[in-house]
Amino acid sequence: MESVIIATKNSGKAKEFEKLFLPKGFAVKTLLDYPELEDVEETGSTFEENAILKAETIANTLGVRVIADDSGLEIDALDGRPGVYSARYAGPEKNDENNIDKVLDELQGVPESERTARFCCALAMAEPGKETLTVFGTCEGRILEERRGSNGFGYDPIFLVETKGKSMAELASDEKNKISHRANAIRKLDELLKEREERHE
């Protein structure tokens, strides 16, 4: 089976990419399979910039095609925070639990109608000698007042998917993978790749 390399060390993302790429006939490798590679510093100010940084750095190091995902949560009442800082929101004590606690603290007293938010996912596909492709996917929702469910990762337990009446962490992985920001971005990448193939590039 052909394989695709995703430049991530996040095991939650890795699991989702495995499920999303398997039906397309690709096995997924991640940076968890390349422990010797150094972390790429996420110095960009947008999801796209960071995705390009991660994809191009690893593609140039390994000399093959690489996809990177830079993603996060934008909360309207917090002027878009945590945004590109989603993984490191709680500072030195950063982890999914502490990041969620910080968001819930900051949203204390904010009414339901003002707790709108979205997950964002930028994917960059880089290959030595080829132009890097980028796509962007989102998933709209609202921030709950407490955690619900235990599937998924990151902020999933506090992210209400209104059309389903469930938190992202209450959805089965197959359900999340139909509607998520990551799934929407992958669909766009598929389209771009089809167009590129039709142009014989």
Q: Give the residue numbers marked as catalytic.
A: 70
Residue numbers at the binding site for ligand CZF (CB under 6 A) = 8-10, 13, 42, 69-73, 86-87, 99, 119, 152-156, 159, 168, 180, 182
Q: How many residues does the chain have?
A: 201
Alpha-carbon distance 132 to 168, whole Å? 31
Q: How far is CA 58 from the centre of its chain?
A: 17
Alpha-carbon distance 100 to 171, whole Å? 18
154 binds, among ligand CZF, Mg ion, none (CB under 5 to 8 A by kind): ligand CZF
The contacts of residue 156 (CB under 8 Å, 6+ apart) are 149, 167, 168, 169, 176
Taking the complex as a whole, how short is the minimal distance between the CB of residue 190 and ligand CZF, in angstroms?
A: 19
**What type of residue sits at position 84?**
V
Taking the complex as a whole, how short is the minimal distance between the CB of residue 50 and Mg ion, in angstroms?
A: 7
Helix or strand run (H / E) with residue 41:
none
69 binds, among ligand CZF, Mg ion, none (CB under 5 to 8 A by kind): ligand CZF
Return binding residues. Answer: 8-13, 41, 70-71, 153-156, 176, 181-182
Return binding residues for Mg(2+). Answer: 41, 70
Q: Where do contacts with Mg ion occur on this chain (CB under 5 A)?
A: 87
